[in-house]
Amino acid sequence: MTNEIKTIPLASDHGGYEMKTFLAEKLRASGYEVVDYGTHTSESVDYPDMIHPLADAVAQGKFPLGIIMCGSGNGAQLAANKHKGVRAALCWNIELARLAREHNDANILSLPGRFIAFELAWEMVQVFLNTTFEGGRHENRVKKIEI
C-alpha cells in the first residue's frame, strides 16, 4: 500500500468470484480493508445485482476507487458505467490499467475473471490503485464524457 487509499470495494458475479477471492486476500495481506459486495459463492447470479451497489457507492463518494469482475469484464463494466460519475474501464494488461487512471481518471477497474491470470490481475490492481490522473490535456476530455 503506497498511497492514502485504505478501503477497496470489490464486486463480482460467479464468473469473477474466484478472482475476487484471490484479490481480496492479496489486498488484505497488503494492508487494505476490503468491502465485499459479493457474490459470495460460485453459484450463478446476475452481475448487475452486485455491480450496481458498488458503483452507486463509488458514485456517492463512499470510495474513491473500486474493482469489479465478471467472466469477461464486459457486463460488469457496462452496468457500472450506468452510474453518473462512474468511469469504469475494462482492462486486461498493466499498461491499460495505468492509462485508465492517467488519461481517463477511471474510478472503477473492470477485470475479465475468466480470461487473465490472477497474478496479472493483482499487478494491475496495484498499478490502478497507485496511479494518479495526469490532468492537463485529459481534463477537458474526461469532463466531456458525462452527457
Residue reference for cell 465485499: 36
Q: How far is the CB of 36 from ligand RB5 (least distance, A)?
A: 17
Site string (74-113) toward ligand RB5, x via CB under 6 A: xx--------------------------------------
Q: How far is the CB of 82 from ligand RB5 (least distance, A)?
A: 14
d(CA 118, CA 16): 10
Nearer to ligand RB5, 48 or 131 (CB): 48
Can you give 4-63 as a three-state secondary structure string? CCCEEEEEECHHHHHHHHHHHHHHHHCCCEEEECCCCCCCCCCHHHHHHHHHHHHHCCCC
Q: Which residues are catalytic?
A: 103
Residues at the interface with ligand RB5 (CB under 6 A): 13, 15, 47, 70-72, 74-75
